[in-house]
Amino acid sequence: MSDLNLAARQRMLSQRMVMQTLLAAGGDARQLSAARTTFQLFCDSHARLLGTMSHYDTHSATRLHAVYEGPQGVNATIQSFMELMRSALDHIARQSPHVQSVLEAIVDSTDAVLDALNAATNVFDAVTKARADLLFKELTGIVSDIHTIAREAKVVSFNAQVMAARAGQQGREFAVVANVLSGISTEIDGLSRKAIDLADRNRQQA
């Protein structure tokens, strides 16, 4: 799963976890087990997103770090939410009389944590698109070079065919090679165009 999809899934997991916890507080043991599973998945995903920043280029990593750890960083909000959830699940398991107050704190925090998770998703989306755009530009440059080489090869092939024709019988073998070169150049040209089209479609879908 991509980092962007992982970040987006966190929003869904947070709401599922809250619902499961509220149901578990009513005495449903299955919901308590489900809430613990969702909570662990949420925590693991958050840890992975924090750890993945080092895999990005410097500019992208700086953007991600600013959103997570900056003055208005979302990590503190998400960590607080995780602590509330951990506390609630423990209180429910122990049938603690303090469950209700913890649940109220969780409900009160849902808007803030959703805002934080949305901000995280948005920055991963922006970084993903920026990387796709950069890759497209680089690929376009490479394909352009290939296209130029193919065009020059066509010119060489044409000149070779002319020279072979002038040479008559002695130039027959040379003409065969020139024709093969022309065919290869045409194929390279077609592949380069397909590569640009594919890269453009992938960039638009990113």
Q: How many CB atoms lie within 10 A of CB 75?
A: 17
Same domain, 161 and 125: no
Domain with 156, as residue range(s), is 135-205
Among 131, 162, 187, where does a domain finish?
131
Same domain, 79 and 8: yes
Same domain, 106 and 59: yes
Same domain, 13 and 50: yes
Give me the sign of the Cα torsion angle 147, 148, 154, 156.
negative
Among 131, 149, 180, where does a domain finish?
131
By the 10 Å C-beta count (0-12 exposed, 13-18 middle, 19+ buried), 3 is classed as: buried
Same domain, 126 and 65: yes
Same domain, 70 and 8: yes
Same domain, 97 and 20: yes
Same domain, 63 and 165: no
Q: Is the pTM of this model over 0.85?
A: no
Same domain, 31 and 83: yes
CB 78 within 8 A of CB 117: yes
Q: How many CB atoms lie within 10 A of CB 172?
A: 11
Reading the block at residue 34, the tokens are 């489900």
How many domains does the chain divide into? Answer: 2
CB 67 within 8 A of CB 120: yes
Same domain, 64 and 143: no
The one-digit pLDDT tens for each residue of the chain (206 residues) are 889 899 999 999 999 999 999 999 988 999 999 999 999 999 999 999 999 888 888 989 999 999 999 888 999 999 999 999 999 999 999 998 889 999 999 999 999 999 999 999 999 999 988 877 777 777 777 777 777 777 776 676 666 666 666 666 655 665 566 566 666 666 676 666 776 676 666 555 55
Reading the block at residue 75, the tokens are 């990590």
Among 85, 100, 131, where does a domain finish?
131
